[in-house]
Chain A
């Protein structure tokens, strides 16, 4: 019997988080996935659907230019992604529609729609139940991981933060303050991502990634070492 039927090598065993031996499967996520930070590649070791080890890379990191992020639309798009990942299709569709409105020049409707979406999200106790306690980060924890200060709290807090920022961003754009939404703040290094998702199952890992509100990714130190090594 050959040990790689169909050219696929067999999974190796490894100790899982309960102290039992379990198969380890190597799976690559990205660079192209719906509701996924563009260009991110996550090489994961999975036991079941729990990520036991991860390595984040960026496809073509050097060639990426700072694209013209038009106002707060990127942030709203991230909200739509996170809502879609929670499985709340209606709210996600609503967020996408607001994003499209926000991209149109000379809008006025995005602000009130976004305010309504924020109320709707805040009112949903099932959504709060679903996201509460998922990858809770303390002040020091966020700082030590090199994450922005607004990443503190759990995934639900981060979602509300995203909505608050988007509302403020739309209001600022409407006031003629174009392009002043600080994109630089929301640039993350791939180094920070892998430790955040390790130990979580796929569904929650994707929620946590989406809740970081990534506008721009840069290749991290670890990747350079890998590519030179």
Chain B
């Protein structure tokens, strides 16, 4: 009973937090309203006995929102705490798309002929979830992650304004390196 109330309570917080993202008029508040929404979802996932997934959701999303705050001030071109600004644009299209998607998905949930449960749940539901999601594709996923990291690193290297030739001179022999500020390991 109590866990039922808590589950639905977190659901409500998640929903209201998500709505607040579009309602508030400051970027910091929108960011952390989204974080709150995700934390509530993470807590809900705990009730599904997917403890690992739930806690990781909280961890990743709070961290992500903190990083988002960095980008916010770096790239937004105005001081978002001071300047009240609307968090929405393209209102009508967005509402129409959101409503259609919601109705479609909800209709799907209601209309699908759900299979009856065969046997009991696995003792480790997180493992079971992972296996049914990944299963035979595990090797592919394991290979893709380093490729993705390499892509990110390569992208940053290509986009960087300063190269090693700026730091170390044309023959790469200049020591100490010409940095705006020296780093901590003296490379």
Contacts and interface: CB of A to CB of B under 8 A. Distances in A.
When A and B assemble into the complex, do they touch directly, with CB atoms less than 8 Å apart? yes
B181 A21 contact: no
Q: Is the interface of A mostly helix, strand, loop or mixed?
A: loop
A176 interface: no
Given A10-B78, A204-B181, A23 B73 contact: yes
B161 interface: yes
A11 B182 contact: no
A199 B180 contact: yes
Contacts of B75: 20-22
Contacts of A134: 181-182
A13 B75 CA distance: 9
B162 interface: yes
A23 B181 CA distance: 20
B184 interface: yes
Interface centre among A10, A21, A200 (most CB of B within 10 A): A10
A39 B162 CA distance: 38
A201 B183 CA distance: 13
Contacts, number: 49
B176 interface: yes
A18 B73 CA distance: 15
A8 B82 contact: yes
Contact of A133 (B74, B161, B182): B182
A1 interface: yes
Interface in B70-101: 73-75, 77-79, 82-85
Given A1-B84, A132-B186, 15 more contacts: A1-B85, A5-B82, A5-B84, A10-B82, A10-B83, A11-B78, A13-B77, A18-B160, A22-B75, A23-B77, A129-B184, A133-B182, A134-B181, A199-B180, A200-B181
23 contacts: A3-B83, A5-B83, A6-B82, A10-B79, A10-B82, A11-B78, A18-B160, A18-B162, A19-B161, A20-B74, A21-B75, A21-B77, A22-B74, A23-B73, A23-B77, A23-B79, A25-B79, A48-B73, A129-B184, A132-B182, A132-B186, A134-B181, A134-B182
Interface of B: 73-75, 77-79, 82-85, 160-162, 176, 180-182, 184, 186
